[in-house]
Amino acid sequence: MTTTGETIAAIATPPGMGGVGIVRISGPRTRSIAEGILGRVPEPRRAAFGTFREADGTFIDEGLALYFQAPRSFTGEDVLELQGHGGPIVMDLLLRRCLELGARLARPGEFSERAFLNGKLDLVQAEAVADLIESSTALAVRLAGRSLQGVFSQRINTLVERLIQVRLHVEATLDFPDEEIDLADEPTVAIDLAAILEAVDRLLADAHQGQIIREGLAVVIAGAPNVGKSSLLNALCGSDAAIVTDIPGTTRDLLKFDIQVDGLPIRIVDTAGLRHTHDPVEQEGVRRAQTALSEADLVLWVYAANGEPDESIRSTFPAGCPITRIRNKIDLPGEAAGLVERDGEVEIALSVASGEGLDLLKAHLKSRAGLSAHPEGAFIARRRHLDALERARGALRAAATNLERRLGAELVAEELHLAQRALGEITGEFTSDDLLGRIFSSFCIGK
């Protein structure tokens, strides 16, 4: 249970006017606040109609009161919701009355934080609540719903259980050094480790999809000057966002836009044409383009169909970054739009000018994000989760290597311990106050 003993209150509905406005209260003084405002404590979990009053009996509002008795509430504490009329002043008067009766203003995310600290939700689920609220697409809502219902947490928990089994096995050999069990001669440990690693890989792939749905696919348009990069950006944005001219070197700054392609959020960046130049402004543009490239989930490498792709540009892209080739301006040589494989990469032939082939590109972007794959199993995820999963994978790989090289059970055990910690950070089994502060402070007030 939370140890603060403080009672918190906040307006849980958004600012402005609406049919209904809700003030939410949680903590030990909840019952006395209910008595002060309503004259009684409503029966738990039953909507009660009543009048909300000031200390001297003056009418503030009338509406429904819902009382949830600890521990059967969102936060695990006594909770009261007062549903009045959604006017900013009415809500403010009601909130002030709660403060007068001993509550203090809730910090952002404090209700969710208490729910987490009281074991009502794990950290992934608490984050999913915020992600559900902030979802910008219907798909994101669905995936956040799955995380909220525990789909992601369950997969982590299963992994942790399997890992604990392996740790028990490894640590048993530490406890009985006299028996001289050589771990490397016990195939089950290696087999179990390999299976866990495979499961972590699958989870990482699914989590990465979830993170793209939440944060958007980072797509960077890059290539030589004048090939139609900014024209492509404009076509995807559906507006004249970037300046387009037939002068090479038109774009210098990075142009960033958040767009959606059939529910897929994309953070798209147009960059300066990559070339050697003595113009200091353009040089800075090229430098910024390189920075954007290093952060891309996908690079659209654009070149013109009436020339050859400049392979020297290709070689400046960060290693390992997925690239899709865009053969633009097919209207000039009169080629047909299409999607082909070229040197192991997808090449899409299109014309921004005529619009031909743009649908192929959009479909391709969706499939790159894994959107059409199997969304039933997907869930929402954050960068934080990916980092922790990657750390877990690193430790598991190190454990497997140590095992293979017969470096001793201690070193295997140590890495397995680190892997378990990393996984536990995701669900909040292991956390620091600092991390919790950072997570919950980004939530809205009243949540």
Ligand X SMILES: Nc1nc2c(ncn2[C@@H]2O[C@H](COP(=O)(O)OP(=O)(O)OP(=O)(O)O)[C@@H](O)[C@H]2O)c(=O)[nH]1
Give me the least distance between CB of 357 and ligand X, in Å please: 9
Q: Is 114 annotated as a binding residue?
A: no
E strand or H helix that includes residue 21: strand 18-26
Question: How many of the other CB atoms lie within 10 Å of CB of 257?
Answer: 16
Q: What is the side-by-side order of every strand in the sheet holding 323-328? A: 255-261, 264-270, 217-223, 298-304, 323-328, 345-349, 338-342
Separation of alpha carbons 442 and 81, rounded Å: 23
The amino acid occupying position 67 is Y
Q: Is 24 annotated as a binding residue?
A: yes
Size of the residue set binding Mg ion (CB under 5 A): 4
Residue 88 has, within 13 A of its CA and on its CB side, a CA count of 4
The token pair at 168 is 């028990």
- Is 255 a binding residue for ligand X by CB under 6 A? The answer is no
Separation of alpha carbons 346 and 301, rounded Å: 10
Give me the least distance between CB of 283 and ligand X, in Å please: 14
Q: How many residues does the chain have?
A: 447
Site for Mg ion in 228-257 (CB under 5 A): 229-230, 250-251
Q: Which does 331 bind (CB under 5 to 8 A by kind): ligand X, Mg ion, none?
A: ligand X
Residue facing ligand X at closest CB distance: 273
The nearer residue to Mg ion, 230 or 328, going by C-beta atoms, is 230
Contacting ligand X (CB under 6 A), which of 147, 230, 402, 420?
Answer: 230
Distance linking the first and last C-alpha atoms of the chain: 18
Size of the residue set binding ligand X (CB under 6 A): 23
325 φ/ψ angles, rounded to the nearest 5 degrees:
-85, 135
Q: Is 447 annotated as a binding residue?
A: yes
- Is 250 a binding residue for ligand X by CB under 6 A? The answer is yes
String marking each residue 280-319 x if it binds ligand X according to CB under 6 A: ----------------------------------------
- Is 426 a binding residue for ligand X by CB under 6 A? The answer is no
Give me the least distance between CB of 103 and Mg ion, in Å please: 56
- Residue 347 bridge partners (DSSP): 325, 340
Q: How far is CA 260 from CA 78, 208, 248, 255, 299, in A?
A: 42, 18, 29, 16, 17
Radius of gyration of the chain (CA): 28
Q: Is 446 annotated as a binding residue?
A: no
Q: Which does 420 bind (CB under 5 to 8 A by kind): ligand X, Mg ion, none?
A: none
Q: Which does 225 bind (CB under 5 to 8 A by kind): ligand X, Mg ion, none?
A: ligand X
The nearer residue to ligand X, 145 or 225, going by C-beta atoms, is 225
82 φ/ψ angles, rounded to the nearest 5 degrees:
-110, 115
Residues tagged in the binding site annotation for GTP: 226-231, 245-251, 270-273
Residues tagged in the binding site annotation: 24, 81, 120, 226-231, 245-251, 270-273, 447
Residues tagged in the binding site annotation for (6S)-5-formyl-5,6,7,8-tetrahydrofolate: 24, 81, 120, 447
Give the interface with Mg ion as residue ranges (CB under 5 A): 229-230, 250-251
Give the interface with ligand X as residue ranges (CB under 6 A): 225-231, 244-246, 248-251, 272-273, 328-329, 331-332, 351-353
